[in-house]
Structure 1
Amino acid sequence: MQEIHIANGYFQLWNMYLNERTLDFNQVDFLQPYQAQLQHVLSLPIDSQSPYSFFKTIMQLTQQQLDCPQLVFEMAKFIRAEHFGVLGYMATRSESVAEALHNVVRFSRLVIDGAEIVPMHMAHQGNQIVLSWPYHDESYALINELTTACMAHLAKQIFPASLKLLSIHFAHRPQMACYQYEKFFGCQVEFAEPKYSFVIHADSLDLKSELADPSLMQLLLRQAEEAIAARPQHFQPVQRMQQCIAEYLKTQQQVPKIEWLAEELHLSVRTLQRQLQQQDTSFKKLLEGERMKRCEQLLAQQISLTEIAFKLGYSDQSALARAFKAYRGQTLLAWKKALKP
């Protein structure tokens, strides 16, 4: 597992929690081996990044030695825009929830970054908006919980009376008593889910912020774009495209157009096509591959071939069968029969 890096704002939150308890990390015995490294990290700009493994060590020691299993929630109460750097300020100065979420999806790497980190994804599911990201490893449970708690608490500061969470989903198991989660978030909280996600009502997208500042947002946007451009490109473009297409097929139950994918990736259609060509593929090839993967998932659910064809945008069952045979070299019926116990 490769190292990921997190914004130093997380360390600042941790230090604020200690100060609230009238503790100085320089004078706490259990932190003595780490004092020099902590001094260095806390002296860095709040929006620079440091290794998550070090942060996790400090957090686990603090939880154990101070007997505070709900440490992430205690820290999240101190969250302010600056702890998330440029992205935090962009969230507070956005004109609406929709704009704030758009920026969170686009610039989340400024807060947590690494080769294993997949960008967040936002999708409409009926009358709900789902902001999600995938599960990677149980060792990331702590940073996922803290980030989720901080985002929820900061959102309540920006949209104090209007924004209500419908549910929170964690891909890992509970790390403390379940009532602690529901007490903090004030909504239903699920665990061991396929992915992490916030769920809000679609009407929330239009909520306006009293702190909106369009002029400042233009400056922040340029700063964020420059910061992202300066970072190494861990995530492979084709992998991200496949993820977007797969999510769309699953949630929308229809076929996306290339214009939608370009907008989702913040690219022009021409730039998207050029990137695909450089990877020796095309939108049509990616789409067909993801349709077939989704087809296999639906076959395992014992859904009829006619319904699968409809969900995947084929004219009829015969068209689906031809596409499947060309892709897998095996007939749909043979594949479906092999799935039966």
Structure 2
Amino acid sequence: MDALKLPSLDTGRLCQEFGLSSAVLEDPEQRIPYATVDALLERAVELSGADHLGLLMAQLPVVDPDDVGSAVIATSPTLFESLERGVRYQRVWGDGERLSLEKTERGVRMRYTPVGPWRPAHRHLAELVMAQLVTGACLLTERNVVPLGIRFVHAEPADTRMHRERYGCPLFFQAPANDIEFSHEDAALPLVHADALVHAIFERQLQRALSALPTEEGLSARVRHYLQRSLGGGDCSIAAAARALRLPARTLQRRLAAEGQSYAGLLEALRRERAADFLQRRVSIAEVSFLLGYSDPSVFHRAFKRWWGVSPETFRQRHAHTR
């Protein structure tokens, strides 16, 4: 809750509106539905007028001395290994939003994916996460680490002066995903608090915390896996998914709703993500339409224009330089 302590925001009123006590929000063991968090952030923007809420929230310390996960990250040998630990143990912090790490030709890329179809709160969450990664990299290495670039799914805000000051690197908006890329040299930087023994002690605690969590994936993740296998030739209907998951279709819909998701939303989010990725890899537009399960390319064109605000051809031209 400290992250929302802004001069222009009455946090007591905000909590009251959502039926949440400050004790619940300040308890690190409490888990709040992502849909509630999203709605709370969007309401906070309305009440405070803070258009750059994510960047303001990022002014808090990125390392929590009372958090075992922070200790594991801070005592890792290198920046890359600290990022890898963050991905490995992310379920300890939350069950929905996801970070992934991959090597690129120029270095390493960390990708952030919020929960569910895009909504305004996701802009602030993505900007918060990217600011924390930049600040954390500089703090833990005691070097001026400048990312190769940061990409955001959302449209470019009217005023980006605070963004450019905070990130200090090339920024791209309306990109296929929220991600940040570090060079090979920066990824290999040693952390100033690296300590093998301390790291091993805290990591064992984190491993125990992770093993205590339920091992079964949420239903939305299982649906997404099904859709990943079925796009481009399979049956993407909810009836087919329900049969594959051995659930009645109504039960599938009800359980997804309990996770703050919908079948149509998961399918559209995956198609949107895949479409952007395929176009950047120079796959033909007709083939992209087929690979996403559209029988009529014109339907794909209309959907893509709705997702990104431009045609597939224009999108490809705009983002040819971001890979």
Aligned-partner residue type, residue 167 of structure 2: F
Shift of 1:32: 6.5
TM-score when normalising by structure 1: 0.57
Deviation at 1:97, TM superposition (A): 0.6
Deviations 1:77-114 (A, max 9, x none): 11231289332222211121121011012112223323
Partner of 1:141: 123
Offset from partner CA, 1:10-43 (integer Å, 9 cap, x none): x3322xx33xx397734xxx43734861323234
Counterpart residue number, 2:99: 120
Q: Is the 8 A contact 2:15 2:22 kept in 1?
A: no
SS at match of 2:153: coil
**Secondary structure class of the residue paired with 1:200:** strand
Matched with 1:12 is 2
Other-structure match for 2:78: 96
**Residues 300/207 of structure 1: CA separation in 2 closer, same or farther (3 Å cut):** same
Per-residue CA deviations over 1:112-150 (Å, capped at 9, x if unaligned) read 323xx4x43322222221122457521233322222222
Counterpart of 1:70, as a letter, is H
The 2-side partners of 1:127 and 1:143 are apart by 26
Q: Partners in 1 of 2:18 and 2:286 — Cα distance?
A: 58
Partner of 2:133: 151
In structure 2, distance between residues paired with 1:176 and 1:55: 25
AA of the residue aligned to 2:20: Q
1:41 pairs, out of 24, 44, 47, with 24
Paired AA for residue 156 in structure 2: P
Match runs of 1:103-252 below 5 Å:
103-114=85-96, 117=97, 119-134=98-113, 136-139=116-119, 140-174=122-156, 177-232=159-214, 233-234=216-217, 235=221, 239=225
* Greater fraction of residues in helix: 1
Aligned residue pair count: 230
Which runs of 5 or more residues in structure 1 are unaligned? 1-10, 244-293, 304-341
Q: State the TM-score, normalized to the length of structure 2.
A: 0.60
For residue 153 of structure 1, give the secondary structure of its aligned residue in structure 2.
helix
Distance 1:32 1:75, change over 3 A: closer
Distance 1:223 1:128 in 2: 30
Opposite residue 202 of structure 2, the aligned amino acid is L
- Is contact 1:47–1:84 with CA below 8 Å preserved after alignment? no
CA distance in 2, matches of 1:298, 1:66: 43
The one-letter code sitting in structure 2 at the alignment partner of 1:123 is E
Distance 1:222 1:56 in 2: 32
Contact 2:152 2:175 (8 Å CA) reproduced = yes
The amino acid of 1:13's aligned partner reads: A
Rounded to whole Å, the distance in 2 between the matches of 1:192 and 1:83 is: 36
Letter in 2 for 1:198: I
2:261 matched residue in structure 1: none
Report if aligned partners of 2:15, 2:21 keep a CA contact under 8 Å in 1.
no
Structure 2 stretches lacking a partner, 5+ long: 230-277, 288-323
* 2:11 paired residue number: 25
SS at match of 1:49: coil
CA contact (8 A) 2:77 2:191 kept: yes
Contact 1:25 1:35 in 2 (8 A): no
Query: Is the CA contact (8 Å cut-off) linking 2:55 and 2:128 kept in structure 1?
Result: yes
Instruction: Give identity over the alignment, percent.
Output: 18
TM-align CA RMSD: 3.5
